[in-house]
Each structure stands twice: as C-alpha cells, then as structure tokens.
C-alpha cells in the first residue's frame, strides 16, 4: 500500500512541497528550541563546571553568583585551610560590571583570578598570565565587539589591555572576563572581603561530611557542593526562561501536526472514492488506515529529513550573526525530533483515519 | 503462484455458486422505508452468465451489492461460494470480497495515480503477494487482454475500452469464482462495448466462472445464459428472452 500512499501524495507535487516546507520549518523551530535549551544550560554552567572546587562557601542566604550577594571576610581563607580534609582554598570575587568599549557601554561578569583553578575555561589566543591592567575576555564578547588581543577597554575608569581571548564563558546576556584578583577587589571595593571561597577537599573526604562540618563550625556561611551551586546559578534561567522554550516546543509540535493533518485530511477527502473502491475490492480497514498513516509518516519523515540539516545551518548562521546565541546542535536532538515527527504524524493521521472509516464502499458504483 | 489457482485447475462445483433465499434489503423505516430488494430468490451455478436488466432505481445495483458482500440484507440468506454472507464479520466479508468476487464497474474505478500494471497488482498486494510476483501476474493478465504495450500507462492516458480491460484484469487478478459487473459497457462506445461483452463470455466458456451483469445493454442478452428483469426490487425472467 506504500505505492498507493506515496503516489497519491505525489500527484499534487506543489502541495506536497508546501507541506514538506511547513513541516521542515516546524522541525527547524523544534531543533532550534532544543538547541537553545541545551546550549543555554551548557553555556551557563560551562565556567562553573570548569572551576576546580568541591565546595562553594558563601555568606548565609547567598546561593548563586547572579541573584544573591555574598560577602565574606577574607581571613576566613586561613581558617578554612586549617580545617580537616581541606586540600586547597581559593578566594573568589566576581560581579557584573559595565565595560566601556569604544565609548559604548556593555556588560560583563568580571572574575578576579586567584590562580588557574578559577581562570577561564579554555584559552583561544593570547595569554592567561594576567597582571594588573590586563584582561582576558570571552571569544563571544570579542566577536560581538570586534575586539582582539592588544585592544583596550575600560571598566570603572580603569583601562585594561586585552591579553587573552578565551572560550566557555558565554552566558548569552553577558560573558565572563578575567582580571587579577587584587584588581578585581579594587574594582568591586572589596577591601578585606571576598564573595565566595572555593574549597578543594582531600580525595578521601566526603563532600557532604565536609559541608556539615563547615556549616556547624561557621553558622554564618552556606556551603554547597559544586553541582548544587551550578544548579543554583542555572535556576535563574531554568525556572523562568527555559520553561518558555518548552511551551514554544509544544506549539511547534502542534503546528507540525496540524500541517500534516491538513494535508492528509485533504488528500483523504479528495480520494474518498478510491478508498471506497479499495473497500469494495476487499481491502481490510486496517490496510486503509495504514495508507493514511503512511502518507502522514512520509510527510513527517521528509520534513524531518530536510529540517535536520537546515536547522544546523540556521544555528550556524544565527551564531555567525549573533555570536552570543547559545544554541547547540547534537545528534541526539535529531533523533528526538525523529520521534517527535513520528508522533506528529501518528496524531495527524487520526482524523483522516476516522474519515476513512465512514467512507461507503458503494461509492465504487458511482461516477 | 499457488495463491492464484490457474483456470485449468478450477473444477465446476456441484452446488450453486450464488444462492439467494427470500432476500430483502430495506432502506429507512416506517412509511418512508424503501424496499430496494424485495424477497429475491436466485440460484446460479458455476459457468453461468446472468444478465439482470432493469431501469435505474429498480434495485439491480443493490442486488449486486448484496451478492458481492458490500451490503448486508435486511432479511434472508445470501450464500456465495459456500459462504453465508450474513454470518461473516466485517473483516471476513472484506476477505470474501477480495478472494471470491471480482468487481467490474461502469466507471472503471481505476486508481488514477497508479499505472495499469499497478492497478492490477492491487488485489494481489492486498492478498499478501510479493511485489515481484504480483507484478509478473499483473503483466500476464494485461498481456492476455491485449494491453502489453500499456503496462506503464496511467488511466488518464488509456481509452475507455482499455480502462475497462484493465478493470477486468484487476477483477480477475485473484481468480475469483464470481465476477460482478455493473453496467460494464455503460461508458464505452459500441466497438469497445462488444469487446468487453466478448471477454465476459470468454470467462464463462473458458474458465467456468459465474458472471453476474447488471445492465441496460441488450447486446449482452446474446451471450447471457439467463436474463432476468429487476423491477421494484423483484426478479422475474425477462420476457425478451
């Protein structure tokens, strides 16, 4: 029956092409949203995952870098270092700041680098060996603002020379930039204060035991395992923005389903006499339903086949024109989308199948 | 090809192939009820060509639909090829139509997107025949009807006579014992009409098939073994006969 299903579809070539275009557009939208969802989460967490810390320690009540403020006395570093099971302690200072580029005001999350354990994820060009008055910026920020190693920018009336460009610090709304710890403290006015302590534990020490001990001895601090702290930072977007993407994904699936449903329903209505003939000459109902289902599946599969490579092209183009666009393209997205288009097709075939069930085989006796 | 018994292997059955006993088909209820078929009794053994004459609306097509398993009778018994159609489920009835009945319609009713060969393959594919086997058998049938040069033509590129021969080939694809033809010459010119009549008669003579034809075409009386008249849902022997 595949023969009849496919040939009937191809009788109206322009309509079939329009249908495929519509479905592939829905597939592109879906893949873009999936890419945005995953890309956003990965970009937002890339730097925090890179930072070498088993435990983040902040002021009681603070739980992330973006929504809450944490201020701790710098001398806490010595106390923590002396605690049992602690291998290394690093002070962390970081804050969203205005960056002036060629007279234009931009934003960046400035991090004071104590050593490589809190530095950028991956250096693309230049050097990460920072001195006061030097800065490493993210490649997305560099492309967006047309900056390169050797160029200058201004933060709070302090001129900085770009000595390195790194990747892995794109949070869409802003990017990470790295200066020396002492200069960062001066910029933020953190005299004798830090925002967080990054604690690395001995290999045989349990993170939960260490956190319990830290919170017991210092009731004015909150301690988080690395994964928890990363998740806390993602919650800003995860709780507010990313669910919107999910809603858009559902809308995209519905649009795809409606397009397939419309095409197959129209085809079924136009070809109802042929379904009548098929019934008359002995085609069982399940065979007739399978014809409609196959047509829906052909539409869905063709749309998927075109939509997948097209979506990768769209993501590449989007990232070219909007460097901070955090979409990611993975093969798993394509496989998920294949499942999605199959579901769309099956759902879309429900109405044509109902129509087929009502077609009278006696139509075969009529003109 | 054992799914499709060859003509030579078909033995004339001892019993009637088609048997109707007090068959009624009523549409609607109460005062508006229409008796399309009204107490018909009919027995047709193998190897008969029965022509049913009658004006439009006399119940010819309804009668053929009852025999072909497209309709269920309101009352009475319809037995075709050893099957009591009233006892069959919808799925079994579809299978009955596929394997026991070959339909030939006035308006050919070919699938417009398929080639002549693919149209003939359709019942074979429905019966579960492999694609290559179905194609070979379809080509064999079309060659038999003089259409070997039209295998890959779509219906819109065939003449009326060619379309009806493709429809006949499709009807014969699974070697059904009964052929039901509704106005088979109704859409054809005189020459093509005669050719179709000749082919129908050939099915009876050469293959002992049972052919039931509903038509206005009196030329068919010359080849029919029996001529019946249908009026107001009742069958009577035709006076012309």
Contact assignment for B96 to A283 by CB distance below 8 Å: no
Same-domain check for residues A30 and A83: no
Same-domain check for residues A36 and A151: no
Lookup result for tokens 């749309």: A303
Same-domain check for residues A169 and A95: yes
Contact assignment for A282 to B90 by CB distance below 8 Å: no
Give the Cβ contact number of residue B122 at 10 Å: 24
Would residue A282 count as lying in a domain? yes
| Edge-to-edge strands, sheet with B101-104 | B101-104, B178-182, B210-215, B49-53, B226-231, B234-237
DSSP letter assigned to residue B100: H
Same-domain check for residues A65 and A208: yes
Same-domain check for residues A185 and A141: yes
Query: Is-contact B152 B115, C-beta < 8 A?
Result: yes
| Pure H helices in B51-89 | 60-67
Contact assignment for B111 to A285 by CB distance below 8 Å: no
Would residue A105 count as lying in a domain? yes
CA nearest neighbour of A169 among A110, A226, A228: A110
Would residue A235 count as lying in a domain? no
Would residue A99 count as lying in a domain? yes
The structural domains of chain B, ordered by start, are 46-69+88-237 (3.40.50.300)
Strand, coil or helix: what is B90? helix
Same-domain check for residues A69 and A213: yes
Would residue A167 count as lying in a domain? yes
Same-domain check for residues A142 and A254: no
pLDDT tens-digit readout, A184-212: 999 999 989 999 999 999 999 999 999 99
Chain B: residues touching A (Cβ < 8 Å) = 61, 65, 68, 70-71, 90-91, 94-99, 101, 103, 105-107, 109, 111-114, 118, 122-123, 125-126, 170, 182
Give the pLDDT confidence score for residue A237 in this predicted structure. 72
Give the pLDDT confidence score for residue B239 in this predicted structure. 61
DSSP string for A61-92: T---SSSS---EETTHHHHHHHSTTEEEEEEE
The sign one gets for the Cα dihedral A258, A261, A266, A267 is: positive
List of chain B residues with pLDDT < 50: 1-14, 241
CA A52 to CA B20: how far, in whole Å? 90
List of chain A residues with pLDDT < 50: none
Domain housing A100 = 61-219
Give the pLDDT confidence score for residue A294 in this predicted structure. 93
Same-domain check for residues A213 and A74: yes
Same-domain check for residues A35 and A152: no
A86 contact partners, CB below 8 Å, separation of at least 6 = A80, A199, A200, A201, A202, A210
Compute φ and ψ for B20, nearest 5 degrees.
-115, 135
Residues of B in contact with A1 (CB under 8 A): 125
Both tokens of residue A182? 């002492």
Would residue A228 count as lying in a domain? no
Give the pLDDT confidence score for residue B130 in this predicted structure. 94
Strand, coil or helix: what is A325? coil
User: Which of A7, A287, A364 is closest, CB to CB, to B109?
Assistant: A364
Same-domain check for residues A112 and A167: yes
Both tokens of residue A207? 């993170």
CA A352 to CA A325: how far, in whole Å? 40
Residues of A in contact with B105 (CB under 8 A): 277, 364-365
Lookup result for tokens 């009026």: B231
Same-domain check for residues A71 and A14: no
Give A20→chain B minimum CA distance, Å: 20
Which residue in chain B has the smallest CA separation from A11?
A: B113
CA B239 to CA B219: how far, in whole Å? 15
Contact assignment for B70 to A280 by CB distance below 8 Å: yes
Dump strand ranges (E) for chain A: 55-59, 72-73, 86-101, 104-113, 122-126, 134-138, 152-155, 158-167, 175-180, 193-194, 196-201, 221-225
The sign one gets for the Cα dihedral B78, B84, B88, B94 is: negative
- Which residue of A6, A16, A272, A282 to mutate against B (max B Cβ within 10 Å)? A282
B241 contact partners, CB below 8 Å, separation of at least 6 = B221, B226, B227
What is the total count of domains within chain A?
2
CA A239 to CA A315: how far, in whole Å? 24
A343 contact partners, CB below 8 Å, separation of at least 6 = A253
**Of the candidates A186, A219, A252, which is a domain's last residue?**
A219
**Of the candidates A219, A254, A272, which is a domain's last residue?**
A219
Same-domain check for residues A114 and A209: yes
Lookup result for tokens 């798993």: A332
**Of the candidates A184, A219, A254, which is a domain's last residue?**
A219
Would residue A230 count as lying in a domain? no
CA nearest neighbour of A238 among A41, A73, A22: A41
Would residue A224 count as lying in a domain? no
ipTM of the complex: 0.88
Give the pLDDT confidence score for residue B155 in this predicted structure. 95
Contact assignment for A7 to B106 by CB distance below 8 Å: no
């Amino acid at each position: 029956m595949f023969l009849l299903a496919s040939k009937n579809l191809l009788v109206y070539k322009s309509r079939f092409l329009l249908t495929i275009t519509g479905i592939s557009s829905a597939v592109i939208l879906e893949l873009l949203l999936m890419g945005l969802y995953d890309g956003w989460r990965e970009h937002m967490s890339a730097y925090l995952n890179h930072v070498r810390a088993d435990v983040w320690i902040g002021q009681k009540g603070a739980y992330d870098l973006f929504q809450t403020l944490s201020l701790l006395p710098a001398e806490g570093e010595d106390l923590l270092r002396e605690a049992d099971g602690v291998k290394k302690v690093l002070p962390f200072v970081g804050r969203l700041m205005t960056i002036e580029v060629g007279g234009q005001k931009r934003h960046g999350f400035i991090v004071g680098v104590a050593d490589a354990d809190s530095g950028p994820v991956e250096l693309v060009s230049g050097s990460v060996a920072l001195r006061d008055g030097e800065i490493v910026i993210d490649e997305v920020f560099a492309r967006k603002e047309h900056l390169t190693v050797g160029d200058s920018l201004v933060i709070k009336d302090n001129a900085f020379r770009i000595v390195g460009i790194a990747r892995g610090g794109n949070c869409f709304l802003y990017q990470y930039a790295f200066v020396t710890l002492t200069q960062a403290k001066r910029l933020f006015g953190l005299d004798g204060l830090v925002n967080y302590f990054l604690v690395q534990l001995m290999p045989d020490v349990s993170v939960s035991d260490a956190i319990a001990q830290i919170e017991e001895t210092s009731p004015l601090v909150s301690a988080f395992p690395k994964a928890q702290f990363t998740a806390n930072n993602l919650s800003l977007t995860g709780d507010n923005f990313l669910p919107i993407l999910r809603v858009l994904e559902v809308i995209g699936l519905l649009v795809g389903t409606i397009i397939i449903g419309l095409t197959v329903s129209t085809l079924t209505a136009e070809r109802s006499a042929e379904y009548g003939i098929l019934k008359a000459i002995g085609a069982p109902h399940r065979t007739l339903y399978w014809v409609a289902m196959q047509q829906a599946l052909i539409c869905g599969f063709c749309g998927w086949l075109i939509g997948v490579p097209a979506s990768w092209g769209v993501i590449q183009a989007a990232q070219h024109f909007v460097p901070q666009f955090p979409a990611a393209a993975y093969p798993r997205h394509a496989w998920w989308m294949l499942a999605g288009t199959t579901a769309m097709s099956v759902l879309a075939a429900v109405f044509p199948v109902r129509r087929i069930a009502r077609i009278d085989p006696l139509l075969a006796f009529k003109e | 090809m054992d799914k499709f018994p060859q003509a030579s292997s078909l033995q004339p059955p001892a019993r009637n192939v088609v048997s109707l006993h007090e068959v009624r088909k009523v549409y609607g209820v109460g005062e508006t009820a229409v008796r399309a078929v009204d107490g018909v009794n009919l027995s047709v053994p193998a190897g008969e060509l029965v022509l049913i004459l009658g004006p439009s609306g006399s119940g010819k097509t309804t009668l053929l639909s009852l025999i072909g398993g497209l309709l269920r009778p309101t009352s009475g018994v319809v037995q075709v090829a050893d099957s009591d159609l009233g006892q069959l489920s919808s799925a079994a009835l579809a299978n009955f139509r596929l394997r026991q009945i070959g339909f030939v319609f006035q308006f050919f009713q070919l699938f417009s997107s398929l080639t002549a060969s693919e149209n003939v393959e359709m019942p074979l594919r429905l019966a579960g025949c492999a694609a290559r086997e179905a194609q070979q058998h379809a080509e064999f049938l079309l060659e038999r009807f003089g259409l070997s040069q039209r295998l890959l033509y779509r219906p819109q590129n065939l003449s009326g006579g060619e379309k009806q021969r493709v429809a006949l080939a499709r009807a014969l694809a699974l070697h059904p014992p009964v052929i039901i033809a509704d106005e088979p010459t109704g859409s054809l010119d005189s020459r093509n009409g005669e050719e179709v009549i000749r082919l129908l008669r050939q099915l009876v003579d050469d293959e002992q098939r049972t052919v039931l034809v509903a038509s206005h075409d009196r030329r068919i009386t010359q080849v029919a073994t029996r001529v019946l008249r249908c009026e107001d849902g009742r069958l009577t022997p035709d006076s012309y006969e």
